[in-house]
Amino acid sequence: MPTFRAPRGTRDLLPDEAARFLRFARVARDLADRYGYRPIETPLFEQAAVFERGIGEVTDVVEKELFRIQPRTDEAEAWALRPEPTAGIARAYVQHGMQTLPQPVRLSMIGPMFRYDRPQAGRYRQFWQFDVEAIGHPGPAIDAEIIELGARFYAGVGVDGVEVLVNSIGDGGCRPAYLESLTSYYLGRAADLPATERDRLGRNVLRLLDSKDPAMVPINAAAPRINDHLCDACSEHFAGVRAHLDALGIVYRVDPGLVRGLDYYTRTAFEFYVAGRSGQQQALGG
Protein backbone atom coordinates (compact mmCIF):
# COMPACT_ATOMS: atom_id res chain seq x y z
CA MET A 1 0.00 0.00 0.00
CA PRO A 2 1.53 3.39 -0.95
CA THR A 3 2.59 5.83 1.75
CA PHE A 4 1.49 9.39 1.07
CA ARG A 5 3.21 12.46 2.45
CA ALA A 6 2.53 16.19 2.30
CA PRO A 7 3.81 17.69 -0.97
CA ARG A 8 7.41 18.88 -0.94
CA GLY A 9 7.65 22.41 0.38
CA THR A 10 4.44 22.21 2.40
CA ARG A 11 3.63 21.14 5.93
CA ASP A 12 0.74 20.06 8.08
CA LEU A 13 -0.19 22.24 11.04
CA LEU A 14 -0.94 19.77 13.81
CA PRO A 15 -3.26 20.83 16.65
CA ASP A 16 -0.67 22.62 18.82
CA GLU A 17 0.83 24.49 15.85
CA ALA A 18 -2.60 25.23 14.43
CA ALA A 19 -3.65 26.75 17.75
CA ARG A 20 -0.56 29.01 17.75
CA PHE A 21 -1.26 30.00 14.16
CA LEU A 22 -4.85 30.92 15.00
CA ARG A 23 -3.62 33.04 17.92
CA PHE A 24 -1.29 34.96 15.61
CA ALA A 25 -4.12 35.36 13.09
CA ARG A 26 -6.44 36.74 15.78
CA VAL A 27 -3.85 39.33 16.82
CA ALA A 28 -3.41 40.33 13.16
CA ARG A 29 -7.16 40.54 12.53
CA ASP A 30 -7.78 42.56 15.70
CA LEU A 31 -5.01 45.01 14.77
CA ALA A 32 -6.30 45.42 11.23
CA ASP A 33 -9.79 46.12 12.57
CA ARG A 34 -8.44 48.63 15.08
CA TYR A 35 -6.64 50.56 12.33
CA GLY A 36 -9.64 50.45 10.01
CA TYR A 37 -8.34 47.89 7.50
CA ARG A 38 -11.44 46.02 6.35
CA PRO A 39 -11.17 42.35 5.35
CA ILE A 40 -11.11 41.35 1.70
CA GLU A 41 -10.86 37.90 0.12
CA THR A 42 -9.62 37.34 -3.42
CA PRO A 43 -9.31 34.06 -5.35
CA LEU A 44 -6.38 31.74 -4.71
CA PHE A 45 -5.68 31.93 -8.45
CA GLU A 46 -5.82 34.76 -10.96
CA GLN A 47 -5.04 35.34 -14.60
CA ALA A 48 -1.27 34.98 -14.81
CA ALA A 49 -1.15 38.43 -16.43
CA VAL A 50 -2.35 39.99 -13.15
CA PHE A 51 0.93 38.95 -11.53
CA GLU A 52 3.10 39.45 -14.61
CA ARG A 53 2.00 43.07 -15.00
CA GLY A 54 1.59 43.89 -11.31
CA ILE A 55 4.73 42.26 -9.94
CA GLY A 56 6.83 42.60 -13.10
CA GLU A 57 7.72 40.03 -15.75
CA VAL A 58 11.45 40.38 -15.06
CA THR A 59 11.35 39.26 -11.42
CA ASP A 60 12.26 36.01 -9.71
CA VAL A 61 8.66 35.69 -8.49
CA VAL A 62 7.23 35.62 -12.03
CA GLU A 63 10.12 33.97 -13.86
CA LYS A 64 10.98 31.21 -11.38
CA GLU A 65 8.44 30.97 -8.56
CA LEU A 66 5.00 31.33 -10.13
CA PHE A 67 2.82 28.22 -9.87
CA ARG A 68 1.20 28.19 -13.29
CA ILE A 69 -1.99 26.18 -13.82
CA GLN A 70 -2.14 24.04 -16.94
CA PRO A 71 -5.27 25.25 -18.77
CA ARG A 72 -7.90 22.88 -20.06
CA THR A 73 -7.98 22.49 -23.80
CA ASP A 74 -11.16 24.58 -23.99
CA GLU A 75 -9.68 27.50 -22.02
CA ALA A 76 -7.47 30.13 -23.59
CA GLU A 77 -6.65 31.96 -20.33
CA ALA A 78 -3.41 31.28 -18.48
CA TRP A 79 -3.88 31.05 -14.71
CA ALA A 80 -1.51 31.07 -11.74
CA LEU A 81 -1.75 30.56 -7.99
CA ARG A 82 -1.21 33.81 -6.11
CA PRO A 83 2.40 34.29 -4.92
CA GLU A 84 1.50 37.43 -2.95
CA PRO A 85 -1.73 39.34 -2.21
CA THR A 86 -1.14 42.88 -3.49
CA ALA A 87 -1.69 42.29 -7.22
CA GLY A 88 -5.01 40.52 -6.65
CA ILE A 89 -6.22 43.17 -4.21
CA ALA A 90 -5.29 45.92 -6.68
CA ARG A 91 -7.21 44.07 -9.39
CA ALA A 92 -10.28 43.87 -7.11
CA TYR A 93 -9.94 47.58 -6.23
CA VAL A 94 -10.15 48.53 -9.90
CA GLN A 95 -12.71 45.91 -10.96
CA HIS A 96 -15.20 46.89 -8.26
CA GLY A 97 -14.80 50.66 -8.64
CA MET A 98 -13.35 51.25 -5.19
CA GLN A 99 -11.65 54.38 -6.50
CA THR A 100 -15.07 56.06 -6.12
CA LEU A 101 -15.03 55.43 -2.35
CA PRO A 102 -13.46 57.83 0.16
CA GLN A 103 -9.69 57.42 -0.10
CA PRO A 104 -7.56 55.78 1.10
CA VAL A 105 -9.32 52.43 0.96
CA ARG A 106 -7.85 50.31 3.76
CA LEU A 107 -7.99 46.57 3.10
CA SER A 108 -6.51 43.52 4.81
CA MET A 109 -6.15 39.82 4.14
CA ILE A 110 -4.83 36.72 5.89
CA GLY A 111 -4.46 33.76 3.57
CA PRO A 112 -2.27 31.19 1.84
CA MET A 113 0.21 32.15 -0.89
CA PHE A 114 2.14 29.85 -3.22
CA ARG A 115 5.64 30.06 -4.67
CA TYR A 116 7.61 27.41 -6.49
CA ASP A 117 10.58 28.11 -4.24
CA ARG A 118 13.46 25.85 -3.28
CA PRO A 119 12.32 24.39 0.06
CA GLN A 120 14.66 25.32 2.91
CA ALA A 121 14.50 26.38 6.54
CA GLY A 122 11.74 28.95 6.93
CA ARG A 123 10.72 28.90 3.24
CA TYR A 124 7.76 26.90 1.99
CA ARG A 125 5.93 26.56 -1.29
CA GLN A 126 2.66 27.22 0.51
CA PHE A 127 2.76 29.83 3.26
CA TRP A 128 0.37 32.19 5.00
CA GLN A 129 0.65 35.94 4.77
CA PHE A 130 -0.92 38.82 6.69
CA ASP A 131 -1.31 41.79 4.39
CA VAL A 132 -2.63 45.33 4.75
CA GLU A 133 -3.10 47.75 1.85
CA ALA A 134 -3.95 51.46 1.91
CA ILE A 135 -4.83 52.33 -1.69
CA GLY A 136 -5.54 55.77 -3.07
CA HIS A 137 -3.51 58.01 -0.76
CA PRO A 138 0.24 58.49 -1.29
CA GLY A 139 0.90 60.54 1.86
CA PRO A 140 3.74 59.70 4.28
CA ALA A 141 1.37 59.31 7.24
CA ILE A 142 -0.14 56.18 5.65
CA ASP A 143 3.30 54.59 5.18
CA ALA A 144 4.15 55.32 8.81
CA GLU A 145 0.77 53.93 9.90
CA ILE A 146 1.46 50.58 8.23
CA ILE A 147 4.93 50.38 9.77
CA GLU A 148 3.41 51.18 13.17
CA LEU A 149 0.83 48.42 12.65
CA GLY A 150 3.66 45.96 11.95
CA ALA A 151 5.48 46.99 15.12
CA ARG A 152 2.28 46.59 17.14
CA PHE A 153 1.76 43.12 15.66
CA TYR A 154 5.13 41.89 16.89
CA ALA A 155 4.51 43.41 20.30
CA GLY A 156 1.08 41.76 20.39
CA VAL A 157 2.46 38.27 19.76
CA GLY A 158 5.37 38.74 22.17
CA VAL A 159 8.23 38.76 19.66
CA ASP A 160 11.33 40.61 20.87
CA GLY A 161 14.51 41.66 19.09
CA VAL A 162 12.73 43.28 16.14
CA GLU A 163 14.67 45.73 13.96
CA VAL A 164 12.87 48.04 11.53
CA LEU A 165 14.71 49.14 8.37
CA VAL A 166 13.35 51.88 6.10
CA ASN A 167 14.37 53.52 2.86
CA SER A 168 12.91 55.40 -0.10
CA ILE A 169 13.25 53.92 -3.57
CA GLY A 170 11.89 56.96 -5.40
CA ASP A 171 9.17 56.97 -8.02
CA GLY A 172 8.75 56.99 -11.77
CA GLY A 173 10.13 60.51 -11.94
CA CYS A 174 13.50 60.03 -10.28
CA ARG A 175 14.15 56.28 -10.34
CA PRO A 176 15.10 56.03 -14.06
CA ALA A 177 18.16 58.24 -13.55
CA TYR A 178 19.18 56.09 -10.59
CA LEU A 179 18.74 52.86 -12.56
CA GLU A 180 20.92 54.32 -15.31
CA SER A 181 23.63 55.18 -12.77
CA LEU A 182 23.36 51.76 -11.14
CA THR A 183 23.55 49.93 -14.46
CA SER A 184 26.61 51.94 -15.49
CA TYR A 185 28.30 51.05 -12.19
CA TYR A 186 27.67 47.32 -12.52
CA LEU A 187 28.72 47.29 -16.17
CA GLY A 188 32.03 48.71 -15.02
CA ARG A 189 32.32 45.81 -12.56
CA ALA A 190 30.95 43.16 -14.93
CA ALA A 191 34.10 41.06 -14.79
CA ASP A 192 33.71 40.75 -11.01
CA LEU A 193 30.03 39.76 -11.07
CA PRO A 194 28.95 36.13 -10.58
CA ALA A 195 27.28 34.66 -13.67
CA THR A 196 23.77 34.77 -12.18
CA GLU A 197 24.15 38.46 -11.36
CA ARG A 198 25.47 39.31 -14.83
CA ASP A 199 22.29 37.75 -16.20
CA ARG A 200 20.15 39.90 -13.89
CA LEU A 201 22.05 43.05 -14.85
CA GLY A 202 20.36 43.35 -18.21
CA ARG A 203 16.90 42.43 -16.90
CA ASN A 204 16.33 43.86 -13.40
CA VAL A 205 19.34 45.68 -12.04
CA LEU A 206 17.73 46.35 -8.64
CA ARG A 207 17.87 42.64 -7.84
CA LEU A 208 21.67 42.84 -7.68
CA LEU A 209 21.44 45.05 -4.61
CA ASP A 210 19.78 42.34 -2.52
CA SER A 211 21.84 39.46 -3.89
CA LYS A 212 22.68 36.77 -1.34
CA ASP A 213 25.95 35.89 -3.08
CA PRO A 214 28.90 36.69 -0.72
CA ALA A 215 30.92 37.91 -3.70
CA MET A 216 28.44 40.77 -4.11
CA VAL A 217 28.92 42.22 -0.61
CA PRO A 218 31.92 44.48 -1.39
CA ILE A 219 30.57 45.32 -4.85
CA ASN A 220 27.19 46.39 -3.50
CA ALA A 221 28.79 48.34 -0.66
CA ALA A 222 30.28 50.72 -3.23
CA ALA A 223 27.21 50.89 -5.49
CA PRO A 224 25.33 54.17 -6.03
CA ARG A 225 22.53 54.81 -3.53
CA ILE A 226 19.01 55.81 -4.45
CA ASN A 227 19.04 58.46 -1.69
CA ASP A 228 21.46 60.52 -3.80
CA HIS A 229 19.05 60.48 -6.75
CA LEU A 230 15.70 61.26 -5.09
CA CYS A 231 13.70 64.14 -6.51
CA ASP A 232 12.55 66.90 -4.15
CA ALA A 233 9.05 65.40 -3.83
CA CYS A 234 10.36 61.95 -2.86
CA SER A 235 12.92 63.43 -0.45
CA GLU A 236 10.16 65.44 1.23
CA HIS A 237 7.92 62.36 1.37
CA PHE A 238 10.63 60.25 3.03
CA ALA A 239 11.36 63.02 5.53
CA GLY A 240 7.65 63.01 6.35
CA VAL A 241 7.65 59.24 6.91
CA ARG A 242 10.58 59.51 9.32
CA ALA A 243 8.96 62.43 11.16
CA HIS A 244 5.76 60.43 11.64
CA LEU A 245 7.70 57.38 12.85
CA ASP A 246 9.59 59.56 15.33
CA ALA A 247 6.31 61.02 16.60
CA LEU A 248 4.88 57.50 16.99
CA GLY A 249 7.91 56.35 18.96
CA ILE A 250 8.87 53.70 16.39
CA VAL A 251 12.59 52.89 16.53
CA TYR A 252 14.00 52.35 13.03
CA ARG A 253 17.19 52.48 11.00
CA VAL A 254 17.56 53.99 7.52
CA ASP A 255 19.17 51.40 5.23
CA PRO A 256 20.24 52.99 1.91
CA GLY A 257 20.71 49.51 0.42
CA LEU A 258 17.12 48.43 1.02
CA VAL A 259 15.34 48.12 -2.33
CA ARG A 260 12.32 46.43 -3.84
CA GLY A 261 12.47 44.66 -7.21
CA LEU A 262 8.72 44.29 -7.75
CA ASP A 263 7.30 46.78 -10.22
CA TYR A 264 4.49 48.11 -8.04
CA TYR A 265 6.79 49.46 -5.30
CA THR A 266 7.45 53.19 -5.12
CA ARG A 267 8.85 55.51 -2.46
CA THR A 268 8.84 53.97 1.03
CA ALA A 269 10.29 50.48 1.45
CA PHE A 270 10.57 48.83 4.85
CA GLU A 271 11.53 45.51 6.40
CA PHE A 272 11.20 44.02 9.86
CA TYR A 273 13.92 41.64 11.00
CA VAL A 274 13.70 39.36 14.00
CA ALA A 275 16.43 37.33 15.68
CA GLY A 276 16.23 33.74 14.44
CA ARG A 277 18.15 30.55 14.86
CA SER A 278 20.41 31.45 11.94
CA GLY A 279 20.75 35.14 12.73
CA GLN A 280 18.49 37.96 11.56
CA GLN A 281 15.53 36.77 9.49
CA GLN A 282 13.27 39.02 7.45
CA ALA A 283 9.73 38.43 8.63
CA LEU A 284 7.74 41.38 7.30
CA GLY A 285 8.19 43.97 4.61
CA GLY A 286 6.52 46.41 2.28
pLDDT of residue 55: 72
With cut-offs at 50, 70 and 90, classify the pLDDT of residue 92: very high
For the domain made up of 1-137, the CATH class stated in words is alpha beta
* Percentage of the residues of the chain whose pLDDT score is greater than 70: 90
Identify the residue with better confidence: 205 or 279: 205
Q: Model confidence over 144-202: pLDDT tens digits?
A: 999 999 999 999 998 888 899 999 989 888 988 998 999 999 999 999 999 888 888 87
pLDDT of residue 57: 62
Identify the residue with better confidence: 63 or 266: 266
CA angle 100, 105, 111 (to 5 degrees): 125
Contacts of 148-154 with C-beta under 8 Å, sequence gap 24+, read: 148/245, 148/248, 148/250, 149/31, 149/32, 149/35, 149/37, 150/270, 150/272, 150/284, 150/286, 151/250, 151/272, 152/31, 153/27, 153/28, 153/31, 153/284, 154/272, 154/274, 154/284
pLDDT of residue 280: 47
Average pLDDT over residues 251-257: 90
Identify the residue with better confidence: 86 or 200: 86
Q: Model confidence over 40-79: pLDDT tens digits?
A: 999 999 999 999 886 776 566 777 789 998 877 666 788 9
- pTM to 2 decimals? 0.87
Q: HSE-up of 282 (CA within 13 Å, CB side)?
A: 10
